[in-house]
Amino acid sequence: MIDIKLIRENKELVKENIKKKFQDKKLVLVDEVESLDIENRKVKQEADELRKNRNTISSEIGTLMRDKKQDEANKKKEEVVEINKRLEELEKEEERLQSEIKERMMLIPNIIDASVPIGEDDSKNVEIEKFGEPVVPEYEIPYHADIIDKFNGLDKESAGRTSGNGFYYLIGDIARLHSAMLSYARDFMIDKGFTYCVPPFMIRSDVVSGVMSFEEMDAMMYKIENEDLFLIGTSEHSMIGKFKDQIVKETELPITMTSYSPCFRKEVGAHGIEERGLYRVHQFEKQEMVVLCKEEDAFDWYNKMWSYTVDFFRSLDVPVRTLECCSGDLADLKVKSCDVEAWSPRQKKYFEVGSCSTLGDAQARRLGIRTKGENGTYYVSTLNNTVLATPRGLIAVLENNYQSDGSIKIPKALQPYMGGKDKIEVK
């Protein structure tokens, strides 16, 4: 949510930003907010003047009562009664106007950074840099579900009976490799100085609306029936929510955390759920990084954070690239975002394994997360980034470490988490 001062002082900037995100249907919201805000400030001004007047009259009543001027005091009391009636009307009107303003402000997208490329959808995202040499071996790389099947490591049929399409059982060495990657991702981020955290896996609706747009919420979140609770789609949700309505000491910034969680997503949309494989599923596990910092430090952290994900996958012998997300591909709260994509030697192309975003003070403004320093109280900036989301990350490791004999070479970084094994062999 942007600062309403932007609409008061430069509404054309806000409108231009909406156009850059190809959301012209939202342009009317800016004018509506402007009109409602003018009306709200008039109501507030009248209410403030009445309160001031009431205080003056109350003092006069006290003086008249001391001087035993009962009749004059009673007339003044009648004035106070009338003021209170009008104040009650104004306060209800102010509450209505503020609610309508907030409802519209929640739909207006955040101001994107000037460096963001303009484009309607992810087809206009721009490659930034490649890390590692993408290799296509002379032997064939099977589809990842077929690789896993060779090790009896995947059972989607049983998961279909217990849970439905989009769920899975991982078994044996494949399940162990999956867990090894998560444990390594945890330790990798702890070594970077991040504080490890396991958050709640369900959050209330006021936290959900604080961390994401309504469109995202409808497409992603599972609602718990008869409860004001949602299953998290990423631990960022509950990690940012941890600071809801708090004033963080400026001396404690930056706050750097890395969190583990299972994640649950509807995956509603054109992509759908993958029938055989594990690329797009309803349930996965994730190691996330979250930062709260001063506004002036946000872009330094943004660049550090995506580079950590690059370093993580390179340590697993996976070539990656970074991709700048264009304006139309940015979620409404984001200022700037980039994806980290892993090389698929089977498909001979890259696929997304992580996403890094800086959101300015949008989440903090929605959730009331502030800090207090020498120059007063202000909203913090928030950032999030994927260290590892798996089984998608598992697919990248399997494909890039698949050997001609059908075995899987275990990257050195993962071997301590696999009991010292250096490969997984077909039995």
**What pLDDT does 270 receive?**
47
**What pLDDT does 105 receive?**
95
Give the span between the Cα atoms of 52 and 347, in whole angstroms.
Answer: 72
CATH code 3.30.930.10 for 122-424: yes
**What pLDDT does 202 receive?**
96
**What pLDDT does 18 receive?**
97
Q: Which of 383, 308, 296 is nearest to 340 (CA)?
A: 308
**What pLDDT does 273 receive?**
64
Distance of CA 79 to the CA centre of its chain: 52
pLDDT band at 120 (very low <50, low <70, confident <90, very high): very high
Q: Over 70: is that where the pLDDT of 271 sits?
A: no
- Lowest mean pLDDT of 52-66, 238-252, 313-327, 332-346, name the range: 52-66
Mean pLDDT of the chain: 94
Q: Over 60: is that where the pLDDT of 269 sits?
A: no
- The stretch 134-151 carries a mean pLDDT of 95
Q: Which of 189, 217, 209 is nearest to 291 (CA)?
A: 189
Dmax (CA) of the chain:
106
**What pLDDT does 69 receive?**
86
Q: Over 80: is that where the pLDDT of 411 sits?
A: yes
**What pLDDT does 68 receive?**
83
- The stretch 330-339 carries a mean pLDDT of 96
- Cβ atoms of 309 and 387 within 8 Å: the answer is yes
**What pLDDT does 272 receive?**
57
pLDDT band at 267 (very low <50, low <70, confident <90, very high): confident
Residues in the chain: 427
What is the DSSP code (8-state) at residue 377? E
**What pLDDT does 67 receive?**
84
Domain 4-105: CATH class, spelled out = mainly alpha
Distance of CA 224 to the CA centre of its chain: 20
| Domain boundaries defined on the chain | 4-105, 122-424
- The stretch 194-215 carries a mean pLDDT of 93
- The stretch 275-296 carries a mean pLDDT of 93
Output the pTM of the full model. Answer: 0.90
Over the range 136-174, which residues count as b (16 or more CB within 10 Å of their CB) and which as e?
A: eeeeebbebbebbebbebbebeebeeeeeebbbebeebb
Give the span between the Cα atoms of 98 and 85, in whole angstroms.
Answer: 20
- Strand order across the 349-358 sheet: 126-131, 320-324, 336-344, 349-358, 381-390, 283-293, 255-264, 195-197
Helices of type H across 106-220: 144-150, 156-162, 172-191, 205-211, 214-220
**What pLDDT does 70 receive?**
86
**What pLDDT does 274 receive?**
66
Instruction: Supply the angle between the helices 27-66 and 4-20 in degrees, to the nearest 10.
Output: 170
- Cβ atoms of 39 and 100 within 8 Å: the answer is no
- Cβ atoms of 340 and 393 within 8 Å: the answer is no
